Structure 1
Amino acid sequence: MINYKELYTRFLNCQCSKEEAKLLLEHFRSEEGDMELVALIESRLAEETDITELAAEDQQIISLIGRRIEKVTQRRYPRLKRWLPYVAAVLLAGITLSGLLWGTYISSYFMNERPIDVASDDILPGGNRATLHLGDGQVIALNEDQNKIILGEDHITYGNGAIPVFGQHEFRSSSFSDTLTLTTPRGGTYQVTLPDGSNIWLNANTTLKYPTRFRQEQRVVFLEGEAFFEVAAQFSRQSMHKYRIPFKVISHGQEVEVLGTKFNISAYKENMHMQTTLTEGKVRIGIHSSRPVSSSPTKNVMLMPGQQAVVYDQAIEVKNVDTEPYIAWKDGFFHFDHVLPKVAISELARWYDLDVTYEGSVPEVRIFGIVSRDKPLHAVLKSLEKSGLAFKLVRSSGRNKLIILGEDRL
């Protein structure tokens, strides 16, 4: 008879063989094994686990994993709820590999390790990089030591109150125009606070167009790329009636009307679909019959918290999702949740500004994990290597090129 408790202990100490780790995972997938896993975690909690001594990055990972575990355990095992931070700490200590946590109990033993060919110095992660385009043609390169601009009624400042600089001079409100465009490059991210108090986080390779002043009847912004929105409620009066001023996000024929506050939109041109993920409040997704936005959408769906709308051309699919993987970028993490390699690699390409090519047959594995976006590329690739992928990094004509090697090219 197999002693799963002993096997679990060996797994946490990275002493399992690949075959033993597979056996352990299959056992924990069963109903009996699932209950045994909870018991093993509880017994592990009896050991000394001081999460206050962990690094800040590990603390953030614990927070993410704790929320993820809670969704799975709170209904079946309510007694575990108050122990979640410590459960996450135990798991982190046991199966964190090069900064990557492979699910709740997913082992790195499943995959073979292969060396990564790095042509020269490592590639650093992206940072606070963006440009602000004015309607009169001026372009302001925003300060990389700052991470946010605030748009007031008649002025623009950084989060610390400083005024952006254009050339050798401070930017002044006389340069204002009806529409401003905030753009992040590949490898860049930035935040903006709009005049109504709404906060928007822009991911890499994203463009947001918005007015210097919203009209009384509605608030409209235009998005290409990915952004997280935290929309402030704004009200107006007509005669004796008070009503909420709508906030709309337009992207490639999709119209998101905000009826709540917090949501994420991914609308990159190179993707075949758009994703809107709601974390709080309500939003209405509308699809127009053609690319130009018409007066009224031809299709509408309503999203509730924990739901995601995926738009393929004129079709809308609504599904329940764990929202954490879709908003983790805002908090400084890649959160891969059962994704195919091309999905994970496309995120890396935008953040590290890479040209990507595939050679040979790439394994159709599923990738699980959380890894900090502050890490240099080599560290992230070493983590993804555990999934069975192999990489070659070269530089040509001033560009960084990442080659993903299929099994027939190894």
Structure 2
Amino acid sequence: MKKILVVLMSMTLLFTTIPVSAAEDDGIQITCNKLTDQDEPYTSTDEDGNEITVYTLSALARYYDQTLYLPNPRCFTLTTETGDLSHITAEMDTSTDNGLGKKDIKLTIKSRAKNKAEIEANFSSKTVKTGLNFNARILVKGADGTILKKIPLAYSTPALTDEHDAPRFHTLSPWSGTSKYNYDLEDYYKVSGTVDVYAKNPKVSYTYKALGTYGLKNFLLNMDNDKTKTNNSFTFTNGKITIGAKNGNPGQKNTVTLVCKSSYLKSLKTQLAKAYCQKKISTADVIFDDLSVEYRNVNGKTYENGIGDNGQGCVIGGAMDPIYLGFYATVKPAGKVKITSYKKTKRTIKLKWKKLSTPVSGYMIYRSTRKSSGYKKIKTVSSKTSSYTNKRLKRGKTYYYKIRPYRTVKYSYKTSKKKTKTLSRKAYGSYGYVKKIKTKR
């Protein structure tokens, strides 16, 4: 499966241009409340080429029991100088979307007057099916049933449909990590850990709890190459694409660790170095669906799907039933520098620290006379250096030190004239542990 690299920026739900029927020229003006950035009205054209405004309504999330986290109602305010809105009704059109809008969307008239009316639109319940409807319309009718206004409406609900997600199996919900929603995938995924793309074969770990009535048998990585039975991106810590579950009973937890292959890491490094040097984006969210889970059967029991204790197990994940997991990839040096020892005199302090295992370009040394503020950089040293002597200090005075690693990130590319151009920027790691030292009197 291909990896999906998602740069960390605000996600916007994009809607494509759609044809909807033109509304009558009835003199009714519409204004609408703002919900979220995902629910901005957009401009489209109808089948006659007329410009129209399409209003949107998106569920905020979908829970694992398939119910929706509903947004606030979308409120339409209708005003007119020529018509009478005191007896209007509102309903979803059934001709353009086979009645789905009428089933999914509930309309409520909040107020009616001669020249002004308010209509609220929201999902009819928390159990609307997964889907995206670009062809819905709200029909505003007068007292005699004639259509006064057609309001185009596009609405969406997040997808979370997994045949294994309860009661016998579970996929995403019991994975460790932070749960996030991706609108491109239309699904949730779990993020666990941060990978330094300059490190050698870094690792990322996930903990999985077997829910339901099945225990675990194996964890598997999808094969990108059927002949060599390998995965292009990861292995488990045993160097293979299959690893057995240590805790096999229902309700138990297993932790699996994936090792990033050097070739995969090289690709991530190139993409992120480009983003960092060109757009100052130092961290990205990597989503993948290579990991599958194989459940084992329970002795002496046959389930409603006909599977009994036949030793075959049941594999979930992969192309037909993806498990989306992820991690943060970064060009920033990982880890904190610790000052391991020091020597002091009346006027000098010599610091020694443990160099980071990940490649860095150098270390910046900061000093302050207060523990929590006032730090200033006093020296920058190369990555080969692990000590520094601070001179010309005051006798009997307390100083605080901390060290910050940095890395020079480079990205090279060919210009239109086939010349190589290299961009370069410094990426800074976290500040290290503070060390308090007082000079001798």
Same fold (TM over 0.5): no
Q: Highest Rg: 1 or 2? A: 2
The structure whose residues are more often strand, as a share, is 2
The structure whose residues are more often helix, as a share, is 1
Higher RCO (C-alpha under 8 Å, 6+ residues apart): 1
